[in-house]
Amino acid sequence: MSSPRSGSGRRPVRVLALLVVALSVATLVSVAAVDSAARAPPRPVCDVCADGAVPDAAAERGVAVAVGASSLDLHVRADGSTRRVARLGFLDGADELRNASLRRAVVDAALDGSEGQAESRLEGDTLVVEYSRTGVARRESGAVVVTAFHAAGAPPLATGGEGTAVLGADELVVYAPAGYVPAGGAADGRVVGRTVHWNADGAGADGIDRDARPTFVPDDASFPEVRGAVARLLLRL
């Protein structure tokens, strides 16, 4: 038969345990909040489509334009490089950019020189910008893995990390290399045939899933999902 004293003796232990749990939860929440705040700014996948990029560049040159819907087609090559085709529909000011030299200056400024040589043209009231870029995807074990959307976190016991990839455009379509098919890693992207799609609504306010690494394997690959998973795993090592 236990005495009243033994029951009361256990009560402080329970209280202490609850306090430890509460403090642990509060610490985890605090660290998560600090880590999110310390991350680098979001990275638009389509720089030229990002809010204000073209209008601001045009305004600096005395031209007023208004952009409506925009999209980016990202064509992945088997060597890991990409060809990008951005389309921006103008609500106003398209005629001003029919001047090739002015249009080139606006596009180069909107890209901030980060994309190398870009070609642009107007199709009706739509500005089309084409350019190539390296460092977007990597080859691993016969697969091609798009790594540009994946945002690495901070090292252990540190805060921060890379900024989340945001679309910049209203729609993003990633095309498999010729002779390849999707093999997982799309995260919140939607696989349609040989492409992976994101749109501004589907990606959400926080941008593309930080773990997204769309993977493509040859058409004739056995167990394509397994090969894609192995390639992504090896890239983490």
One-letter-per-residue 3-state SS of 122-190: EECCEEEEEEEECCCEEEECCEEEECCCCCCECCCCCCCECCCEECCCCEEEEECCCCEEECCCCCCCE
Task: Report the pLDDT value the prediction gives residue 5, as an integer from 0 to 100.
Answer: 52
Residues 195 and 234 placed together within one structural domain of the fold = yes
If one counts the domains in the chain, the total is 2
CA distances in angstroms from 118 to 51, 60, 89, 96, 150, listed in the order given:
19, 20, 18, 19, 25
Decide if pLDDT at 236 tops 80: yes
Residues 6+ apart with CB under 8 A from 230: 141, 143
Residues 114 and 187 placed together within one structural domain of the fold = yes
Residues 17 and 56 placed together within one structural domain of the fold = no
More confident residue, 49 or 2: 49
Task: Domain of residue 141: give its range.
Answer: 41-237
Residues 30 and 94 placed together within one structural domain of the fold = no
Task: Report the pLDDT value the prediction gives residue 187, as an integer from 0 to 100.
Answer: 93
What's the pTM value of the predicted model, to 2 decimals? 0.77
Decide if pLDDT at 220 tops 70: yes
Residues 173 and 219 placed together within one structural domain of the fold = yes
Residues 5 and 67 placed together within one structural domain of the fold = no
- What are the tens digits of pLDDT across the range 121-177? 999 999 999 998 888 999 999 999 999 888 654 344 343 446 688 899 999 999 999
- In which band, very low, low, confident or very high, does the pLDDT at 44 lie, cut at 50, 70 and 90? confident
Task: Report the pLDDT value the prediction gives residue 69, as an integer from 0 to 100.
Answer: 94
